[in-house]
């Protein structure tokens, strides 16, 4: 199985951003998706650094892919989306709007924020030129199996959310701004203070979600560690690792070794919990009663 680094979901400073992507040049990953996914207001801070990062990653032998925004409403956002296709790298659509702008016959990738729940949608996207689909994190293993089968027949590679806080919702409203009693138009980039999202707790004090501007993420970090064999058997071709501000270099090493068979099931989870005890893990969307739950056992023995 391959490793894909998904687009960074958070607002990092331009320097941090550049350093992160420079570091990926030597990483044992096959593909890097970058660009702004969550909020178009963040883009001007690092937009000029994107071409350089794309070039460096391509030179290092990685497939470099550009993401679309997750929610396109404003005129400026529509223009950005239309321009994506002109840059000359593969586009990962994360809002159907991008489909309206891609030239016919140009292959594209589909990100986890596009609703691909079934074979019908998969086949329709394939007919438009989809070559790779990262499935929505919400899907259970049975759906992953059906879709990977359908993908094989249509020449579409199927990717699954492997590790990181999961995107649960996107809104027109900015929650970081709301928390700081500001409007979205005058947000003063409150989300920049939380490089992995801001923890949201329930009334009994249990960590539950993470706030990231207009996006809401899971508190727990999805972790496919125990399900690697089941996903491979299903025909999944790649795992997606979602950027986080600390320990990412160690994380992709672990996953590479796990996929190569040199680490046993549970080794990644054990290390994450040893080095970062405050990190909660989940794989419930794939194999549990609810997304937040954690199996700690492989679905395939």
Partner 1 sequence: MVMEIVCPAGTPAALRAAVRAGAHTVYCGFNDETNARNFPGLNFDRSEMREGVDFAHAHGARVLVAINTFPRAGDQSIWHRAIDDAKLSGADAVILADAGLLDYAARTHPGLRLHLSVQAAAANADIINFYAGTFGVKRVVLPRVLSVPEIAAINAETDVETEVFVFGGLCVMAEGRCSLSSYATGLSPNMNGVCSPASHVKYHDNNGELDAKLGGFTIHRAAKDEPAPYPTLCKGCFSAGGQTGHLFEDPVSLNAEQLIPQLQKAGVRALKIEGRQRSKSYVAQVVRNFRAAVDALEAGRPLPEGMLARLSEGQAMTTGAYKKTWR
**With respect to partner 1, which residue has the nearer C-beta, 103 or 289?**
289
Please, which of residues 255-284 interact with partner 1 by CB under 8 A? Answer: 284
Burial class (CB in 10 A: 0-12, 13-18, 19+), 110: buried
Shortest reach from residue 59's CB to partner 1, in Å: 34
**With respect to partner 1, which residue has the nearer C-beta, 104 or 274?**
104
Calculate the alpha carbon distances from 140 to 66, 78, 145 in Å: 27, 33, 9
**With respect to partner 1, which residue has the nearer C-beta, 29 or 177?**
177
Q: Output the six-digit token pair for 184.
A: 């979205």
Question: What whole-number distance in Å separates Cα of residue 40 and Cα of residue 281?
Answer: 30
- For residues 76 to 95, the per-residue mask of contacts with partner 1, x marking binding by CB under 8 A and - elsewhere, is -xx--xx------------x
- 10: contact with partner 1 by CB under 8 A: no
What is the number of other CB atoms lying within 10 angstroms of the CB of residue 186? 8
**With respect to partner 1, which residue has the nearer C-beta, 64 or 99?**
99
Q: Output the six-digit token pair for 97.
A: 């709007």
- 289: contact with partner 1 by CB under 8 A: yes
Q: Output the six-digit token pair for 236.
A: 């999944």
Binding window for partner 1 (CB under 8 A); candidates: 12-20, 43-51, 60-68, 121-129 = 121-129
Number of residues that bind partner 1 (CB under 8 A): 72
Shortest reach from residue 163's CB to partner 1, in Å: 16
- 131: contact with partner 1 by CB under 8 A: no
**With respect to partner 1, which residue has the nearer C-beta, 122 or 228?**
122
Name the nearest CA neighbour of 222 among 170, 287, 274: 287
Among 17, 111, 285, 295, binds partner 1 (CB under 8 A): 285
Please, which of residues 152-211 interact with partner 1 by CB under 8 A? Answer: 166, 168-175, 177-179, 183-185, 198-206, 208-209, 211
Residue 145 CB partners (closer than 8 Å, separation 6+):
234, 235
Question: What whole-number distance in Å separates Cα of residue 205 and Cα of residue 202?
Answer: 5
């Amino acid at each position: 199985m391959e490793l894909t680094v998904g687009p960074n979901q958070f607002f990092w400073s331009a320097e941090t951003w550049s350093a992160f992507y420079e570091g990926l040049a030597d990483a044992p990953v096959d593909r890097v998706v970058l660009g702004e996914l969550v909020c178009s207001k963040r883009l001007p801070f690092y937009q000029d650094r994107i071409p350089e990062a794309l070039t460096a990653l391509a030179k290092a032998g990685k497939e470099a892919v550009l993401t679309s925004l997750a929610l396109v409403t404003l005129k400026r956002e529509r223009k950005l989306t239309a321009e994506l296709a002109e840059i000359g790298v593969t586009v990962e659509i994360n809002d159907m709007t991008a489909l309206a702008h891609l030239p016919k016959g140009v292959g594209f990738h589909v990100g986890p924020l596009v609703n691909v729940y079934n074979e019908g949608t998969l086949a329709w996207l394939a007919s438009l030129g989809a070559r790779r689909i990262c499935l929505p994190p919400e899907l259970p293993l049975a759906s992953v199996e059906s879709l990977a089968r359908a993908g094989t027949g249509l020449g579409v590679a199927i990717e699954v959310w492997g590790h990181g806080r999961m995107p649960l919702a996107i809104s027109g409203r900015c929650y970081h701004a709301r928390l700081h009693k500001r409007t979205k138009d005058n947000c003063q980039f409150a989300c920049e203070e939380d490089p992995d999202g801001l923890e949201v707790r329930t009334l009994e004090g249990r960590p539950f979600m993470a706030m990231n501007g207009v996006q809401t993420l899971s508190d727990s970090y999805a972790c496919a560690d125990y399900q690697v064999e089941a996903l491979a058997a299903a025909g999944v071709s790649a795992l997606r690792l979602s950027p986080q501000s600390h320990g990412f270099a160690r994380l992709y090493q672990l996953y590479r070794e796990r996929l190569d068979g040199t680490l046993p099931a549970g080794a990644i989870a054990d290390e994450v919990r040893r080095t970062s005890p405050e990190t909660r893990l989940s794989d419930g969307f794939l194999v549990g009663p609810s997304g937040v739950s954690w199996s700690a056992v492989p679905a395939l023995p």
